Amino acid sequence: MKSIGQILLCFLLICGSALASYAQDEDILTDDLGNVSDAFQERFFEGLKQKGIQNYEKALEALSEALNAAGDDKEQQAVVHFEMAKNHLELQQYEAAESALLQSIGLVPGRLDTNELLYEVYHRTKDYEKAIPVVNRLIAFDAVYKEDLANLLVLTAQFDQAMALINELDAAVGRNAKRDELRKRIISITGDVSSEINRLEGITNSDAATEKDYLELIYRYSTEGDINKAKEAANVLLERFPESELVHLALYKFALEDGDKQAAVASMQEVIDARNIDASSKYKVLADFMDFVADNPDYEPELEAAIANFSSTTNSGALWQQLGDFFLKQDKRNKALEFYKKAVATNNTDYNLLKNTILLQIEGNAFQDAFELSETALEIYPAQSLLYLLQGVSLLGLNQADKAIAVMEEGVDYVIDNPAMERDFYDQLSKAYNQKGNAAKAAEYAKKAQDLQLP
């Protein structure tokens, strides 16, 4: 007769680490377990072998026989139940896996691996209530499981306990993004903003306050409509952290609301120039800056400087398109085209972007560029009649009347219930035939255009 520890050592040397979790655990699988029968040894390792080759049903049959052979030995029974649970889990037999693990824990309590696997079962089945006591046991092994417990408390609507644990963890190990999101989620569900404001006020009145605490307090005041307190908190933040960049995300909005244009522009410039503010936030500020300049054109030089700064660190097609739209509304068409071309370089599938770019290229007599871009556009939108018209116009600009006629005669067939566009096609076809010297055809299309009744 051999002890189970000796058997496992031989098995692992021959077959690998199928039972590594138990072989490494001195609580159960050690020589002081006593002897195991040959029947147990044979059926137990047959079960491990079958699991190793993913024959989970056969593995369970062998392990059931090993369980019978274990007799009254609790340690051996616990090992077998644990292995059976792993096979049930592979077969997604979650109730059977849970039952096997509970039996294993009942026989030999306090094992890390057994409780970890039981937690996995409850996590997969979303049985969060049952998972909580398991995680509480796991915390005794590793305090990191408190993070899991906080999430489980939220999932089971135990919000007060969850918030208390989040506060405890923040105080003990510092804040992290996951807990911050949990906190926001709890407040969103419960609507208990006042408690959060009280907590933040307490923190900001202490020497332990961070820039992030003030920013969160400013945000909470703002969402509650207490703008005066939000401004006061922002000013205190700037006093305590004069190098703060993030505070300007709030300050520029307050300045805009107060009509303090100089202060608003100064804070927006701070945001755009900042190293520690993400591109998404800068993008939103730049959008506000553009809206501001639309009503206050005297500040356009500052906006252009901000654009130049931001564009040196980003390559956003959406930003370039928005800037193009902005300058087009300002009737600065060359500037608009400059940004549209940048936008097309990163995204040549947006119909409105393609259309606006081609129109401005034609307007600026960049006919070759307009023709090439219209080719790209027609590959993506082969049924858009306007693109055929624009390509025809660009070909006319290149003195290629025959190609222009072919393109526009094809494109006019795509015009549906749009007399104005149909007239534009006929007008351009008339010009094309004039360019060819075919006065009769030119007159024919001119008459077609004239005869169209516009609504």
Each residue's pLDDT tens digit, 208-253? 888 888 988 998 888 888 899 999 999 999 999 999 998 998 899 9
> What pLDDT, on the 0 to 100 scale, is given for residue 433?
93
Burial class (CB in 10 A: 0-12, 13-18, 19+), 384: middle
CATH fold group of domain 348-455:
1.25.40
Position 142 pLDDT exceeds 60:
yes
Chain-centre distance for alpha carbon 279: 14
Query: Do residues 306 and 272 touch, judged by C-beta distance below 8 A?
Result: yes
Q: CA dihedral in degrees (414, 417, 419, 422; nearest 10)?
A: 0
Phi, psi angles (nearest 5°) of residue 3:
-75, 160
Position 129 pLDDT exceeds 80:
yes
What's the number of CA atoms in the CB half-sphere (13 Å) around residue 98?
A: 14
Residues in the chain, total = 455
Position 32 pLDDT exceeds 50:
no
Cα–Cα distance measured from residue 26 to residue 40, given in angstroms and rounded to the nearest whole number: 20
**Amino acid of residue 332:** K
Average pLDDT of span 337-343: 89
Position 57 pLDDT exceeds 90:
yes
Could you tell me what percent of the chain has a pLDDT over 90? 56
Q: Which segments of the chain belong to CATH 1.25.40.10?
A: 1-142, 348-455
How far apart are the two ends of the chain, measured CA to CA in Å?
A: 102
> What pLDDT, on the 0 to 100 scale, is given for residue 31?
37
Query: Do residues 433 and 401 touch, judged by C-beta distance below 8 A?
Result: yes
Banded model confidence at residue 455, pLDDT cuts 50, 70, 90: low
pLDDT 10s digits, 397-443 = 999 999 999 999 999 999 988 999 999 999 999 999 999 999 999 99
> What pLDDT, on the 0 to 100 scale, is given for residue 307?
81
Rg, the chain, Cα only: 36
* 142 contact partners, CB below 8 Å, separation of at least 6: none
SS3 418: coil
pLDDT 10s digits, 172-186 = 888 888 998 999 899
Q: Mean pLDDT across the chain, nearest whole number?
A: 86
Position 28 pLDDT exceeds 80:
no
Position 42 pLDDT exceeds 80:
yes
Q: Return the exposure string of 275-305: e unless at least 16 CB atoms fall within 10 Å of the residue's CB, then b.
A: eebeeeebbebbeebbebbeeeeebeebbee
Query: Do residues 56 and 92 touch, judged by C-beta distance below 8 A?
Result: no
Cα–Cα distance measured from residue 103 to residue 82, given in angstroms and rounded to the nearest whole number: 9
> What pLDDT, on the 0 to 100 scale, is given for residue 439?
93
Position 17 pLDDT exceeds 80:
no
Q: What is the CATH number of domain 1-142?
A: 1.25.40.10
Position 12 pLDDT exceeds 50:
no
pLDDT 10s digits, 278-330 = 877 887 888 888 888 888 989 989 988 888 887 776 667 777 888 888 888 87
Q: Which two tokens stand for residue 369?
A: 């560029």
E strands in 329-395: none
